[in-house]
Chain A
Amino acid sequence: MIPAAFEYVAPRSVAEAVALLRQHSYDAKVIAGGQSLIPMMRFRMAQPKVLVDIGRIPGLDYLREEDGYLRIGALVRHATMEHSPLIQERYPLLAATARVVADPLVRNLGTVAGSLVHADPAGDWAAAMMAARAQVVVAGPDGERVIGIDDFLVDTFTTALEPDELVVEVRVPIPGPRSGGDYQKIERKVGDFATAAVAVQVTLDEAGRCQQAGIGLCAVGPITLRAAAAEEALVGQPLDEATIRKAAALAAEAAQPTSDTRGSAEYKRDMVRVLTIRALRSAAARALKA
């Protein structure tokens, strides 16, 4: 439980951080909340030579709506999302997610952006951001670029980030009227990774038909998954029980679970179905009220 020796640097600006990453490349690891990296270092599963702590860069902890997007700065903690009146009032999917990320101690330190960069298929935010069709803003030596969440998440623990790039912001499109969302998660206990979880975001038209749908699946594949066929089955339909059940069955088909101590592949696949039903019911009810 003692990490291997490492160097520690704390840049004061994004430019300085990017320069350090450019200098140390694959030998460096960015640390923000450290809630995944530190345990991996303690087990010596990760042995970075240099830790670049972005926690002291001013101005990265903003959370506000601007230009059609909810903008989440790279240092926004899970707890900030959990307790934000803005999130609670206008982003039920994100609010539901923030409440069940790990445990309160982790939520006080871990960051939303850090969770995405870690690219753990069991990360809650990745599934939520997929349902919300978020984008990731990345700073590198040549300035900033914006990557859609589906392209950002490449593989297990692998993102589209270059070694000299840093995530500076996560952007979520502001939902239109008659929108609702929910996050449904099964975990063995608080603080455990999900056995399975489903994120849902829907927007209804004036007639109550589904106009837009996003469904992200957590912990049931090598990577966060989008249940595309299920999304398609919802669009243009009223969100009645039959439609919901049909979409849920398609979401279960989209899952690629493996058996482990949390449950068999068979169980996890069925839980995707059950959780999708529950998330869609709740999202639809919220959309009708919104």
Chain B
Amino acid sequence: MSATLTESPHRVLGQPIKRKEDPRFLTGQGRYLDDIKLPNMAYMAIVRSPYAHARIVSINKEPALAVPGVLAVITGEDLEKLGLAWMPTLNGDQQMVLAVGKVLFQYQEVAAVIATSREAAYDGAAAVEVEYDPLPVVVDPFKALEPDAPILREDRKEKSNHIWRWESGDKAATDKAFAEAEVVIKEKIRFPRVHPSPLEPCGCIADYNKTQNHLTLYVTSQAPHAYRTVLAMVTKLPEHQIRVISPDVGGGFGNKVPVYPGYVVAIVGSMLTGRPVKWVETRTENLASTHFARDYHMTVEIAATREGQVKALRVHTVADHGAFDAQAVPSKWPAGLFNICTGSYTFEAAHVVVDAVYTNKAPGGVAHRCSFRVTEASYLIERAMDILAHELKMDPAELRRKNLIPADKFPWKSPTGWVYDSGNYHHTLDYALNLIGYKELRKEQAEKRARGELMGIGISFFTEVVGAGPSKHFDILGIKMFDSAEIRVHPTGKAIVRLGTRHQGQGHETTYAQIVAEELGLSPDDVLVEEGDTDTAPYGLGTYASRSTPTSGAAAAMCARRIREKARKIAAYLLECGEHDLEWADGRFQVKGAPHQSVTMQQIAFAAYTNPPPGMEPGLEATYYYDPPNLTFPYGCYIAVVDIDKGTGEVKVRRFLAVDDCGTIINPMIVQGQVHGGLTEGFAIAFMQDIVFDENGNNLVTNFTEYMLPTAVETPRWETAHTVTPSPHHPLGAKGVGESPNVGSPAAFVNAVVDALSHLGVRHIDMPITREKVWRILRSAGIDE
């Protein structure tokens, strides 16, 4: 545990201070991409394919060029001449920027129209004539693997829709455990194809200055530095001539990690027209063409003893990646950290296989832990544990208690190689069960069941894995996944902090200010946090995968400590004593044993610029690149209580308790907000969301009527609580929390619904759990209004 968390009056860490960014956001003063207007700016609209798989016979630009205001029409052929028709994906594949020869998914980018107004751009896009010759469509990933399936990716050497196979764990040990097992359960479980759906869609303004060969790209990006490097690689512009600015971002959830074709085309459009080019997606474009998450078809098996001791886990997954393998994963792990799927339990052996497949769907694979596949893994194991409990006729809480990793076994090495940093799982389980009144709920359930009423209780005890990541393992396209902070303390004792991350509403401007204020003895009001401009911020890989606090948060703390070391020297000079005679207390340096002899950071900062010690370099600033020694492993126990309407099949979530352990909490109000948001996402995934395609590959959910986000009416009331088990290796003990609720909650919801119906023989229901799915179960069991 960090030595800085003293019980001093100067205590900023852990305080629920109001978010510094909120006055701006809540009064409509945020400055988002579409708020930015540059002189002489043109607008871009994209022509998209109505077919999921078709040859492009011809494209006629002329009618579009005849529309008043249209400046240019760009096609894949045009990009080919520039060597820009294809671009690399973040998973080592390539994807079309604009379609060349054929289209591979509905809504794929086919052409772009640049015009003097947004209206003219759309009129122009409607006027482009594209002739298609439809090809057989592959929607089902299992059919994609059949020998006679049409080959989708003709650009690849391998003439197969199979992309790659990834294996983890020990097959022999796992097979042996299964051969000797007293009890084996097996289930097919799908995690649906879902979409992160940030309220602000994606967009950019590309502003290329020909005389200076300089590009400024304003873009909705969670990772501006990574964009700069990728754009330098793709466009061949020198990296120092590219400035990426990510203004206020209205939600990301991973959707704003990838570099989308529209950005590349807008850059080309700016080069062609000599104007800044703005492109902002419509809602349909965002839903139908930008990165989805998941679509994992998982077969899970657990080997256990009759007493309920788990022994081994076997998982085979078919992953539907769509037309291009574009998920954002660290280079070493094509299926991310999916092999965290042994969860919170003492499995002795595990074997995990993932087969990735091409289909005629939009590419993706980020959002809500999807690039790292942790939500899939957590859902899988938490569902499977309930199935095992059902098989053994054991209480699911008891089964978990029996198998949770004991506190004295940390650091725990999982059978797939992860080293869990810290946890006190049994304590958290008991705390959650007591808080919700588990025994009473089980009693109520038994009474209701006797009366023919349907009530269920679902538990999920998840372990997250965040803070990517240690450079020895984690890189994306070779770029190591450390992160950074730079602090400048001004002469009057105020400070600016710049970081390599980029928030999208998570509260970084407050959280980081609290960290730096705590470390330097300042008020958070005196610390300005700035992110998102590659010309000013130190290099970093951005904000996603719950990595900001574990990486840049650590960098901010370490950077502040670096400043404090210099400050100590200045303090000693000012107090005319030796450095070792000083102690840091109450947010100031004081002489040991003489606390009235002290200097504040304000006094030190002033001296750093006006009266530095002889021979010392003036100024008070530092930069720190933090390379985490390990990942962090937040965890939690979530419990859902549901009632089921016998007439309609409606599930009502009566209660939901989330007990999170994310280590040291920097701002409990922000953490609660993050948890509320993530639980709401988990609720939506459990009950509402799936990107559905018909047999022709038509996307059936291209607006918010069909792809549903819950409103305040549907959303349950959330109960939140915490246990605190600090990370031993993070400078503040913090672990990260952003995606924990998204990872942990889906299984709790589904487990609760299955629990309500388990006496009818139900073992599993695939998400989303619609009323109709429940209704079918009820009617087939003879239960009616």
Contact residues in B for A107 (Cβ distance below 8 Å): none
Describe A's contact surface by its main secondary structure: loop
- In the bound complex, how far is the Cα of B770 from the Cα of A267, in angstroms? 11
Which of chain B's residues 708-742 have a Cβ closer than 8 Å to chain A? 708-711, 713-714
- In the bound complex, how far is the Cα of B693 from the Cα of A261, in angstroms? 10
1/0 per position for A194-223, CB-CB distance to B under 8 A? Answer: 010000000000000000000000000000
Task: Let me know if B785 and A189 touch, CB within 8 A.
Answer: no
Asked whether A277 is an interface residue with its Cβ less than 8 Å from the other chain, the reply is: yes
- In the bound complex, how far is the Cα of B118 from the Cα of A5, in angstroms? 12
Task: Tell me how far the C-beta of B262 lies from the nearest C-beta in chain A, rounded to whole angstroms.
Answer: 15
Which bracket fits the contact residues of A? 20 to 34
Task: Let me know if B708 and A189 touch, CB within 8 A.
Answer: yes
Task: Let me know if B648 and A261 touch, CB within 8 A.
Answer: no
Q: Contacts A188-B708, A190-B714, A274-B785: A2 and B775 contacting too (C-beta < 8 A)?
A: no
Asked whether B701 is an interface residue with its Cβ less than 8 Å from the other chain, the reply is: yes
Option from B647, B688, B785 in Cβ contact (under 8 Å) with A188: B688
Task: Let me know if A192 and B708 touch, CB within 8 A.
Answer: yes
Task: Let me know if A1 and B283 touch, CB within 8 A.
Answer: yes
Asked whether B100 is an interface residue with its Cβ less than 8 Å from the other chain, the reply is: no
Asked whether B430 is an interface residue with its Cβ less than 8 Å from the other chain, the reply is: no
- In the bound complex, how far is the Cα of B119 from the Cα of A277, in angstroms? 51
Asked whether B625 is an interface residue with its Cβ less than 8 Å from the other chain, the reply is: no
- In the bound complex, how far is the Cα of B283 from the Cα of A87, in angstroms? 37
1/0 per position for A247-287, CB-CB distance to B under 8 A? Answer: 00000000000000101100100110110011000000000
Task: Let me know if A271 and B648 touch, CB within 8 A.
Answer: yes
Asked whether B55 is an interface residue with its Cβ less than 8 Å from the other chain, the reply is: no
Asked whether B705 is an interface residue with its Cβ less than 8 Å from the other chain, the reply is: yes
Task: Tell me how far the C-beta of B355 lies from the nearest C-beta in chain A, rounded to whole angstroms.
Answer: 29
1/0 per position for B229-264, CB-CB distance to A under 8 A? Answer: 000000000000000000000000000000000000
Task: Let me know if B779 and A270 touch, CB within 8 A.
Answer: yes
Task: Let me know if B771 and A186 touch, CB within 8 A.
Answer: yes
Q: Contacts A193-B705, A261-B700, A267-B775: A44 and B126 contacting too (C-beta < 8 A)?
A: yes
Task: Let me know if A189 and B688 touch, CB within 8 A.
Answer: yes
Task: Let me know if B771 and A277 touch, CB within 8 A.
Answer: no
Task: Let me know if A263 and B714 touch, CB within 8 A.
Answer: no
Of all chain A residues, the one with the shortest Cβ separation from B684 is: A189
Which bracket fits the contact residues of B? 20 to 34
Contact residues in B for A273 (Cβ distance below 8 Å): 785
Q: List 10 A-B contacts (CB under 8 A).
A: A2-B122, A5-B123, A189-B709, A190-B714, A195-B771, A264-B772, A267-B775, A267-B776, A274-B647, A277-B785
Asked whether A236 is an interface residue with its Cβ less than 8 Å from the other chain, the reply is: no
Of all chain B residues, the one with the shortest Cβ separation from A186 is: B648
Q: Contacts A190-B713, A270-B779: A4 and B123 contacting too (C-beta < 8 A)?
A: yes
- In the bound complex, how far is the Cα of B513 from the Cα of A76, in angstroms? 51
Contact residues in A for B123 (Cβ distance below 8 Å): 4-5
- In the bound complex, how far is the Cα of B779 from the Cα of A44, in angstroms? 42
Asked whether B282 is an interface residue with its Cβ less than 8 Å from the other chain, the reply is: yes
Task: Tell me how far the C-beta of B271 lies from the nearest C-beta in chain A, rounded to whole angstroms.
Answer: 25
Option from A191, A264, A274 in Cβ contact (under 8 Å) with B711: A191
Q: Contacts A188-B708, A189-B710, A267-B772: A261 and B119 contacting too (C-beta < 8 A)?
A: no
Contact residues in A for B772 (Cβ distance below 8 Å): 263-264, 267
- In the bound complex, how far is the Cα of B777 from the Cα of A117, in angstroms? 39
Of all chain A residues, the one with the shortest Cβ separation from B785 is: A274
Task: Let me know if B714 and A189 touch, CB within 8 A.
Answer: yes
Task: Let me know if B711 and A103 touch, CB within 8 A.
Answer: yes
Apart from A4-B123, A270-B779, 13 more pairs, CB < 8 Å:
A1-B284, A2-B118, A2-B119, A4-B126, A188-B688, A189-B688, A189-B711, A190-B714, A192-B708, A195-B771, A273-B785, A274-B647, A274-B785
1/0 per position for B636-655, CB-CB distance to A under 8 A? Answer: 00000000000110100000
Task: Tell me how far the C-beta of B326 lies from the nearest C-beta in chain A, rounded to whole angstroms.
Answer: 25
Contact residues in B for A193 (Cβ distance below 8 Å): 705
Asked whether B62 is an interface residue with its Cβ less than 8 Å from the other chain, the reply is: no
- In the bound complex, how far is the Cα of B708 from the Cα of A192, in angstroms? 9
Task: Let me know if B711 and A190 touch, CB within 8 A.
Answer: yes
- In the bound complex, how far is the Cα of B774 from the Cα of A274, in angstroms? 15
Task: Tell me how far the C-beta of B582 lies from the nearest C-beta in chain A, rounded to whole angstroms.
Answer: 60
- In the bound complex, how far is the Cα of B118 from the Cα of A2, in angstroms? 8
Q: Contacts A1-B282, A1-B283, A5-B119: A261 and B706 contacting too (C-beta < 8 A)?
A: yes
Task: Tell me how far the C-beta of B698 lies from the nearest C-beta in chain A, rounded to whole angstroms.
Answer: 12
Of all chain B residues, the one with the shortest Cβ separation from A1 is: B282
Option from B283, B692, B770, B775 in Cβ contact (under 8 Å) with A270: B775
- In the bound complex, how far is the Cα of B772 from the Cα of A237, in angstroms? 33
Contact residues in B for A191 (Cβ distance below 8 Å): 705, 711
